[in-house]
Amino acid sequence: MSPNWAQIVSAVASGFTALGILLVLVQIRDVRRTRDAQITIDISRRWDEEPLVSARLKVNKLGTDQAVCSEILSLQRRRSREYYELLSEPNYFEDLGILCESGALNRGMIRESFGALVAKRYDRWKLAVDELRKADADNYKHFEDLAEEMRTNKESWFRGLRRRLAARIAP
């Protein structure tokens, strides 16, 4: 028994519908990639802007995590503007952590862009964060979580990097 015209039209319409759905899914994927790329560009730009560069330079100049903690507490007691300027660095990583946790930011992109640096910078701020948490136990919790995630995934990230590099070098 051969199909009638209604069955043929229905099959063709179903095929076009499936094709349409596939095209929509591809477009959604492309929009997400474009959005992730734009967010990554914005994050990188913010990292390189004067307020964060200035804060990082001041923190690096302090030298140790104990010196950072002492300086933050001193500035906080004096209600100094510099207190808020220095906090722009942990605030930046806190924002990244919140964006990652909410799913608004691709964790893989953060790993590729910052990786172990997040953990290194958290280690520099840890004593100060511990002191700040005396007033609010949740201070910089997302920064800490992001640092731990970057630290624990460090090995697998490096293995993946070696694999990708080996694939490029292979004949």
**Separation of alpha carbons 114 and 121, rounded Å:** 10
Cβ-in-10-Å burial (0-12, 13-18, 19+) of 107 comes to middle
At 64, give phi and psi (nearest 5°).
Answer: -125, 160
The whole-number pLDDT of residue 79 equals 92
Question: How much is the pTM?
Answer: 0.72
Inter-residue contact 110 to 100 (CB < 8 Å) = yes
Amino acid letter at 30?
D
- Please give the angle made by the CA atoms of 66, 71 and 75, to the nearest 5 degrees: 155
| pLDDT single digits (tens) 113-154 | 888 899 999 999 999 999 999 999 999 999 999 999 888 875
